Amino acid sequence: MRVLCVAEKPSIARSITGILSGGQYSTRNTGNNFVKNYDFDYPQTNSTFTVTCVSGHLTSQDFGEAHRKWNSCDPFALFDAPVETLIPPDKKSIERNLRTEGGRADTLMIWTDCDREGEHIGMEIARVCRKAKPNIVVKRARFSAIIAQQIHHAAQHPIELDRAQAEAVEARILLDLKVGAAFTRMQTLALQRQFAQLEGVLSYGPCQFPTLGFVVQRYNRVKAFRPETFWYIYLSLTRDGEETKFTWKEGHLFDQGGAARIYEIVLQNPRARVIRVTKKDTKKWKPLPLTTVELQKAGSRLLKLAPKKVLDVAEKLYQQGFVSYPRTETDQFDPQFDFMTLIGKQTVDPAWGEFARTYQNGGFGVPRKGKNNDKAHPPIHPTAHAGNLVGDEKKVYEYITRRFLACCSKDAEGSQTTVEVVCGGEDFYPLPLGLIVLQRNYLEVYPYDKWIGHTVPNFQEGEEFDPSVCELREGQTSKPNYLTEADLVTLMDKNGIGTDATIAQHIQTIVDREYVVERMEGAIKYLVPSTLGIGLIDGYNEIGKSFSRLLSFTRLTFLVHQTERRMVQVCERTTTKNDMLQTSLDQYKHMFIIARREFDKVATVGLITHSHSAWKLMVSHRVLGDTLVQVLLEGQEEVEEAVVVEEEEEAVVVVVVVVEMGVMVATARQAEEEEVPLLHAAEVAVVEAALEVQLLLLLTPILKVRAFGMISLTHA
């Protein structure tokens, strides 16, 4: 019997060949550079095997001729337009290979990843092979890890493809295409009609839009923030020249009178008494096995690489055979995973080799188990030692390796001392708590985690003392920060926006569309929405307000969840693909009709905030020298061409009039129309010079505004 095995990607084809053939196989090239055909005998089922693969989805979907061109139809018609499935040119060679090999086989065995998309890819493969050989028997191999025993079991006990899962994916594909295309065309064309100069596409998608929404949501919180004053009792003891600070168990109160009354009572009896000293063993847990999302978060936070970049680098390392498959949701290792061999490969490393050698002598600890398992790939780990890497590849490889070694090491151990103090009837405890680090364990190989010991004086239970300081102090709530890339990855992951493999792409998309600007502050990269981004989200929210929030950003996120739930229902066969598609499409159609009717609001209310005859427009944020500068655009009937530069710290606002010749600093005032001191001439010159250099950068988002025809800005 001849069996054709088809995997989802070249790496899996190679691995299962290695396992099933026991290393005895021959290789044939195909018309595609990445795809090889492997031939061998598989006596266990009395068969001849050929293993090959596709490269992800085989087909792509698009509208037919009548709807493909942007101006060929009303965008609304796209919801009911027929969609064609075709094999894109770069996949033709793979299709030809499948036809040739399928024509020769009795059985087709699908070895795609065991997830929804894998089931759909399996159907695509089956369709092509059936064309070449209509009576071919189609089977599916089920495996959850590339481990010899599992792969053999899968080859000998194949199951059937799951049509329901494939159909759920089909519904997703159609929904994404129709909703994305309809809204993108409607938005773009509507604004182009209004503002002829508008360039570029204003894309809309069920993933990119909520992603943008997160950025704008945080931006609004930062903008709306007003510091609040709070009061707390501060206690400290200086003994032998060392100060121990105590934290009030109540934390802090926003009620000054209340705090003052408690403080008065404390003052009546300000002698402190130690009521309890406890020492207990404590641990700092080693990290969980590494998933794609965690790698991207770490990459952004620790390695200062954008999520997309981290994934690209990891992909390269994977192709060179240094790390395992980098797209995985799994944060638990299979119990049979061969840890020791992989750790052994790291013993030659000059930096962590010595530590890797300790694992054989009791240094090994079974990795923690996370909650996720995609049943297709293990957590990301090094597969070989790489000694000659440089730059980003070195950084990412080092992180993956140290993370793996940390997972296989032991939790750090310490001893923590808690001291409870009562003073005037109020409870206090020293902060930081006393900590002695006893065993660093995993921390030795994982410098990304910090755990620093801290001593507290040797207090005795029952001991009394007079605090060195006992005061009612005042503090202020601190301003939230803009969203970092790592924050955004976390939010998307938590809210189910995108997948491990696509989260980075969606972030890239909103940057490419100029909905969001990246801003460095020190070593941290923040994401700040542009005028356009804020305008779109605010605009939709504005419409949402009048229509039971149907279009608000939270609602959009909710729709993504609903779609996901319905997909699960299709998989579980509690609803059909067509019903699910119809329900979802109806929902989006309803949204579309309102959005189009109200779209003027996106253009005006969203992009401009009216205030009397003047209007102000948040544009963007840039660093001017070392100072954070917030740029506002302000127009009045008499001053049409104006830029307002606000220096936040000093609360100085410079109004810059943009004239055809360049930039001129004209006047100064605060955003709230209060009188503030004019800038010194020297400062004006600095601002002027900096603006000249940065004007083009600065004005990029503003030019959008000009394109919208709301103000006629001219720049050199």
Partner DNA sequence: GCAAGGTC
**Sites of contact with DNA (CB under 7 A):** 8-11, 34, 55-57, 60-63, 68, 70-71, 90-91, 113, 115, 117, 172-173, 176-177, 179-181, 184-185, 188-189, 192, 201, 203-209, 315, 319, 327, 498-499, 501-502, 505-506, 509
**Nearer to DNA among residue 185 and residue 622 (C-beta):** 185
DSSP calls for 189-225: HHHHHH-TT--S-----TTHHHHHHHHHHHHHHHHH-
* Residue 241: both structure tokens together: 């020249």
- Distance, in Å, from the CA atom of 202 to the CA atom of 180, rounded to the nearest integer, reads 11
Residue 461 C-beta: closest distance to DNA, Å: 58
- Distance, in Å, from the CA atom of 236 to the CA atom of 220, rounded to the nearest integer, reads 38
Residue 11 C-beta: closest distance to DNA, Å: 6
Residue 495 C-beta: closest distance to DNA, Å: 12
**Nearer to DNA among residue 140 and residue 185 (C-beta):** 185
Residue 303 C-beta: closest distance to DNA, Å: 20
Residue 206 C-beta: closest distance to DNA, Å: 5
Q: Please say whether the beta carbons of 88 and 118 come within 8 A.
A: no
**Nearer to DNA among residue 328 and residue 409 (C-beta):** 328
* Residue 100: both structure tokens together: 């040739």
Count of helix runs (H) and strand runs (E) in the chain: 20, 25
CA 405 vs CA 229, 359, 402, 519, 686: distances in Å: 46, 9, 5, 34, 51
- Distance, in Å, from the CA atom of 321 to the CA atom of 282, rounded to the nearest integer, reads 39
Residue ranges in 105-162 assigned as alpha helix (H): 116-132, 148-156
Q: Is 325 noted as a catalytic residue in this protein?
A: yes
Residue 517 C-beta: closest distance to DNA, Å: 18
Q: Please say whether the beta carbons of 235 and 270 come within 8 A.
A: no
**Nearer to DNA among residue 237 and residue 507 (C-beta):** 507
Catalytic residue among 42, 325, 397, 515: 325
Residue 314 C-beta: closest distance to DNA, Å: 10
* Residue 513: both structure tokens together: 């569309």
Residues 6+ apart with CB under 8 A from 619: 530, 531, 631, 632, 633, 701, 702, 705
Give 708's Cβ-side CA count (13 Å radius).
25
Greatest Cα pair distance in the chain: 95
**Nearer to DNA among residue 185 and residue 395 (C-beta):** 185
Identify the CA nearest to 56 among candidates 501, 713, 632: 501
DSSP calls for 23-35: T--EEEE-SSTT-
Query: Which amino acids are annotated catalytic?
Result: 325
